[in-house]
Structure formats: C-alpha cells, structure tokens
Amino acid sequence: MARLKLTDRHRRYLAVAVAVVAGLMAVDVVFQIVRHAQWRAFIPAVSEAATTQPSATQPATQAAEPTPAPAAPPKPIEIAAAIKARNIFAAPPEKGHGMSLCGVLGNVALFNARGGAVVAIEAGQSANGVTVKSIDGYEVVIEYEGKPETLRLFPPSPGQDGPGAPPAPPPTATSPATQPATQPTNQPTSAPAAETQPAQTEQRK
C-alpha cells in the first residue's frame, strides 16, 4: 500500500480547515454562554411576575379596604402642673369654718380663726364664709354654708336653761301605793277605851 504524501498545499488546506473549525467552535461556545446568561436572568423575572400579578384565568380580587389611621396617642398626664396647683405633700384642708367665739363687743363678735388670727364680724356681715345673724348677750348665731349655728362665749350653768341645755325631765306622779302610810296614826286612840267602860260598870254592879 502506497503511503499518502502531503504536499505543502495540502498542509495549508488542512491548517485552514482546522482554523475554521476552531473558529466555529469558539463562536458556538460564546453563543452558548450568552444564551445561558440570558436564560438565568429571564427565569427570576418570570417567577417574580407570576407571584405578584394574578393570572388572566383567576377572578379579580376585591379592592383592599383602606386601613384606618392610627389613633392618636393619649396625652401624658401633666404631673408637674398638678403638683404646682396643689401640694400633694400637704395635709388635706380641714372641714368646717374652724372659728370659735372669743369675745363680744356690742354688735361685733370676735372669733378665733385657724392660724390664731382674730376675726371681727359685725351683726349682719360676713367674713371667711361665716355670716353673723344675731348677737344676744354672749350668744352669737352664725350661718355657715346655709346652716345656722349658735356659739356661746361662756358655757351655760348646770341649772340654767339655754338653747343648748337639755330640757328638764317632767314631774312624775306618785301612786297611792307609794304614799307614806302615816294617816291612820293621826286618828284619836280614845275610842277603844270608851268601848271598855260599860263592861267595867257591869262588873261593879
């Protein structure tokens, strides 16, 4: 069998053919790489659109209801203003007028108020919420919050009746059974002696 001899022309043709095949393979590799990159970028976009947009076969969903506006937060309690308005560490104010009668000068009554101050109020006048209605000797009738009250400079004696003294008990009637049995002893005792005289005269006869 004779051996095939390659000439220079054949070698050139072979080199050109190999170069063309290599170029085609390189172009195919580049094309495949580009298509693969496009496919990798296309798949996430399609899947995201499918999850966010409803399909044409599904019915349209109702419009979402508007969300209500958030309620305004409650206003904080102004503790500082409350403390300024009223001292929370101070004792609560005492009830009543807190005034006691300490003297009477004609138609003017003198009272000891809270804190040791002396208040003079004329009959028919008012001060510290107290109105002096009348002055009778050492008794003063005042009115506080629509309620009358009688104040005395001196307390009444035990035997003296006054507006504030308790009434005396009514006299109790004694029954006949409790009366002392002394009346029979006041009768004369000579009657029985008179009855015995006829008997003595008969014995003498």
Does the pTM of the predicted model rise above 0.75?
no
Average pLDDT of the chain to the nearest whole number: 72
Q: Residue 22 has what pLDDT? A: 92
- For residue 164, pLDDT over 60 is answered with no
Q: How confident is the model at residue 25 (pLDDT cuts 50, 70, 90)?
A: very high
**The token pair that represents 144 in the structure block:** 């506080």
Choice among 30-39, 56-65, 68-77, 99-108 with the minimum mean pLDDT: 56-65
Q: How sure is the predictor about 78, in pLDDT bands with cuts at 50, 70 and 90?
A: low
End-to-end CA distance of the chain: 231
Tokens (6 digits) for 150: 């009688």
Q: Is residue 139 part of a domain?
A: yes
Q: Residue 61 is encoded by which pair of tokens?
A: 């969903």
Q: Check residue 174 and give its pLDDT.
A: 47
Average pLDDT score over residue span 73-80: 67
Task: Say if 87 falls within a structural domain.
Answer: no
Average pLDDT over residues 91-115: 83
Q: In what order do the strands lie in the sheet with 108-112?
A: 100-105, 108-112, 118-122
Q: Give the number of domains in the chain.
A: 2
Task: Calculate mean pLDDT across residues 86-115.
Answer: 80
**Residue 104 within any structural domain of the chain:** yes
Q: Among 136, 152, 168, which residue terminates a domain? A: 152
Q: pLDDT exceeding 90 applies to what percent of the chain? A: 19
Band the pLDDT of 160: cuts 50, 70, 90: low
Indicate whether 164 belongs to any domain.
no
Question: What letter does residue 185 receive in the DSSP assignment?
Answer: G
The residue-averaged pLDDT of 150-156 equals: 84
pLDDT on residue 196: 45
Domain that holds residue 143: 100-152
In a domain, residue 61? The reply is: no
**Per-residue pLDDT for 200 more than 60?**
no
Q: For residue 35, tell me if it sits in a domain.
A: yes
What CA–CA distance (Å, rounded) separates 151 from 142? 8
Task: Please check whether residue 41 lies inside any domain of the structure.
Answer: yes
Tell me, what's the pLDDT at 14? 86
Cβ partners under 8 Å of residue 134, min gap 6? 123, 140, 141
